[in-house]
């Protein structure tokens, strides 16, 4: 007998299960049946593709038994089974790196927290919500040895070698006194029908049936009533995704989603497709209403499972859908792939690539329908997954137009989110482009000096305050033949100048001051120019159209590109501001130097940047204040 300590995260999780998450206890059965189904899937695949396993006596099934006297509930399967090393790896540790994040992000809302359990592959431990002790007996297929894992959920477990006739796993739960409801056939049956009806393998239980007494023609009893026990299949064991849509009820779609996603909330929508012709396949995709905790992790768990002719192949292949659709859950079942397809072949397979392309177009078109038919529901989706959807603008050129119709933005003129189509419909007759500004905070963007002239001209500006915006938007140059431009780009100067002659006059008027400022700020600014975009502020920073702006620079640094050459912005100044009117009458070079650096730092602050030389800024500011007094 070998005793082991649980990994720290497991201990924390067990404590959480046992003492906190009671709002939806019945999900423990869903999780254990799901694990059994996975084990059957793995062995089913091997018996079809691996010569070593083809002669194995294999009858895929899940059996559930109740012992009311012993107060035990047992879930058994004939799947792949586990060795002693597997038991340690699968039940003593949590390999999934998101688990720490899961524990850290618990909200204290029991229902919400319990819904998150399955997302992190920790569903087995939910059994400790109802059990005071668990025994897992398992024998790996083709192995002679069997082992039993035993734990009371108190920080340690033990593994002993044992005897077991056939391969597979049996999980015996010693139920707590207050959990006797799970010793009733009809309670277990209702949970299975609710959560596991479309597990593709039969789930069997013993059911007591009363056979009435037999009587003769005179009503005299000739054989007393008796009770028989029959082993019955509880679930449909049908691949729901291969059924006709007309045969499937809404609740069945929803329950199947909960089964495959381990999410207890209803999906926003589902997309069921059966394609026939040159390439035959079935797909069933779901758009969740809640985001998984690993949505923004590089090691996210893909949500789509691949089957070939109903045989499970993989649920760990990120190439089945593009990364920006990683929130989609569901099934792809192809008819024409070989069962023993390798990961390398999967990534280059023409049939799968065709299915992937068609699936992406279908998902995006259904999201567009949702946007048109139910704006409120679409906004629910977009607030959760809009940032991820935007990522597609960076690399999916084939579907960019469809994505541009789906993405939404905040506006300088309207509340809420708007589409590019809505922006364009409201454009002024003489407006040449769609304009946007990027930054980290909406409040800063709304009050940015960069959009003062746009506000004065009643031109709408899109406010892009998500970190992904500065990466993807430079890749998007037009929408429906209308140019899309950032307001901090030197390229739009000619579009917003009200009076080119007046601008030329101001350039001549302030020529000497501009030349001196350019020399003073030569280490900080690429150029110093008269601005045509300012109404109230004295200065603003813009960027050459060929240079990355501040937000893009920050994003590149976060991505590990720390050795970027210094990008100097262009300082634009407002010739109508009283500061410059007064500078004309001064011949104080020291004053001009102080004002130049202060204007540069003020423009940095307005853009949400940090001032690098705080001491220098403070000294100059104090000097100017003292002179003013």
**pLDDT score recorded for residue 410:** 96
**Chain CA centroid to CA 584, Å:** 57
DSSP H helical segments within 293-349, as ranges? 343-348
| pLDDT for the residue numbered 334 | 93
Set out the domains of the chain in order of their start, with CATH numbers: 2-216+223-231 (3.30.565.10), 240-382 (3.30.230.80), 407-494 (3.40.50.11260), 496-628 (1.20.120.790)
Alpha helices per DSSP H over 447-571 = 452-456, 469-472, 493-496, 500-509, 511-520, 550-558
Write down the pTM of the prediction.
Answer: 0.79
pLDDT at 224: 79
Q: How far apart are CA 229 and CA 211, in angstroms?
A: 10
Judge contact between 50 and 70, C-beta under 8 A: no
| Closest by CA position to 606, among listed 496, 482, 452, 454 | 452
pLDDT of residue 21: 56
pLDDT value, residue 562: 67
Q: What is the greatest pairwise CA distance in the chain?
A: 129
Instruction: Count CA atoms within 13 Å of residue 547 on its CB side.
Output: 18
Q: Which residue ranges in the chain fall short of pLDDT 70? A: 1, 16-23, 94-122, 342-343, 490-491, 493-500, 555-562
State how far the alpha carbon of 163 is from the alpha carbons of 184, 244, 390, in Å. 29, 45, 55
Strand ranges of the sheet holding 203-211, from the earlier edge strand across to the other edge: 2-5, 156-162, 146-151, 131-139, 168-175, 72-77, 62-67, 203-211, 226-233
For residues 290, 292, 296, 300, the Cα torsion angle rounded to the nearest 10 degrees is -150
* Pairwise CA distance, residues 437 & 470, whole Å: 9
Q: In this predicted structure, what is the pLDDT of residue 12?
A: 72
Residues 286-328: pLDDT tens digits?
999 999 888 888 888 899 999 998 888 888 889 899 999 999 9
């Amino acid at each position: 007998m070998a005793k082991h300590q649980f990994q720290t995260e497991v201990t924390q999780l067990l404590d959480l299960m046992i003492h906190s998450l009671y709002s939806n206890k019945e999900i423990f059965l869903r999780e254990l049946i799901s694990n059994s189904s996975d084990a059957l899937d793995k062995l089913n695949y091997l018996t079809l593709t691996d010569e070593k396993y083809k002669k194995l006596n294999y009858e895929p099934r899940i059996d559930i038994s109740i012992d009311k006297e012993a107060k035990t509930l047992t879930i058994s399967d004939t799947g792949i089974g586990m060795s002693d090393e597997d038991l340690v790896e699968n039940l003593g540790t949590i390999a999934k790196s998101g688990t720490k994040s899961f524990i850290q992000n618990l909200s204290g809302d029991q229902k919400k927290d319990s819904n998150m359990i399955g997302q992190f592959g920790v569903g087995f431990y939910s059994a400790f919500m109802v059990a005071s002790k668990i025994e897992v007996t398992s024998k790996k297929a083709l192995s002679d040895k069997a082992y039993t894992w035993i734990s009371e959920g108190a920080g340690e477990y033990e593994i002993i070698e044992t005897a077991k006739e056939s391969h597979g796993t049996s999980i015996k739960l010693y139920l707590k006194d207050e959990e006797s409801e799970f010793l009733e056939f009809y309670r277990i049956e209702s949970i299975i029908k609710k959560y596991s009806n479309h597990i593709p393998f039969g789930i069997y239980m013993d059911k007591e049936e009363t056979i009435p007494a037999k009587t003769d023609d005179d009503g005299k009893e000739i054989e007393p009533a008796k009770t028989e026990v029959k082993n019955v299949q509880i679930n449909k064991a049908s691949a729901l995704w291969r059924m006709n849509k007309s045969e499937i009820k809404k609740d069945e779609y929803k329950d199947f989603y909960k089964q495959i996603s381990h999410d207890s909330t209803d999906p926003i929508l589902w997309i069921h497709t059966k394609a026939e012709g040159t390439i035959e396949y079935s797909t069933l995709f779901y758009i969740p209403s809640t985001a998984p905790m690993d949505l923004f992790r590089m090691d996210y768990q893909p949500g789509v499972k691949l089957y070939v002719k109903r045989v499970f192949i993989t649920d760990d292949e990120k190439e089945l859908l593009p990364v920006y659709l990683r929130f989609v859950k569901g099934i792809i079942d192809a008819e024409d792939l070989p069962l023993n397809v390798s990961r390398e072949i999967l990534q280059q397979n023409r049939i799968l690539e065709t299915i992937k392309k068609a699936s992406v177009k279908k998902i995006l078109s259904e999201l567009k329908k949702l946007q048109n038919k139910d704006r409120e529901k679409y906004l629910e989706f977009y607030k959760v997954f809009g940032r991820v959807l935007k990522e597609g603008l960076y690399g999916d050129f084939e579907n960019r137009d469809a994505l541009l119709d789906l993405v939404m933005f905040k506006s300088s003129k309207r509340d809420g989110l708007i589409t590019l189509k809505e922006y364009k419909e409201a454009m002024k007759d003489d407006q040449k482009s769609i304009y946007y500004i990027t930054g980290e905070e909406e409040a800063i963007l709304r009050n940015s000096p960069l959009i003062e002239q746009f506000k004065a001209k009643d031109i709408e500006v899109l406010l892009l305050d998500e970190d992904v915006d500065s990466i993807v938007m430079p890749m998007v140059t037009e929408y429906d033949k209308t140019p899309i431009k950032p307001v901090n780009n030197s390229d739009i100067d000619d579009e917003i100048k009200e009076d080119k002659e007046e601008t030329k006059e101001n350039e001549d008027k302030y020529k000497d001051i501009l030349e001196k400022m350019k020399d003073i700020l030569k280490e900080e600014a690429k150029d110093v120019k008269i601005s045509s975009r300012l109404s109230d502020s004295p200065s603003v920073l813009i960027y050459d159209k060929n240079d990355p702006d501040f937000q893009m620079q920050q994003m590149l640094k976060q991505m590990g590109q720390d050795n970027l050459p210094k990008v100097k912005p262009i300082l634009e100044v407002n010739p109508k501001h009283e500061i410059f009117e007064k500078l004309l009458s001064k011949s104080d070079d020291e004053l001009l130097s102080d004002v130049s650096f202060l204007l540069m730092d003020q423009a940095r602050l307005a853009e949400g940047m940090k001032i690098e030389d705080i001491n220098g800024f403070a000294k100059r500011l104090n000097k100017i204040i003292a002179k003013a007094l």
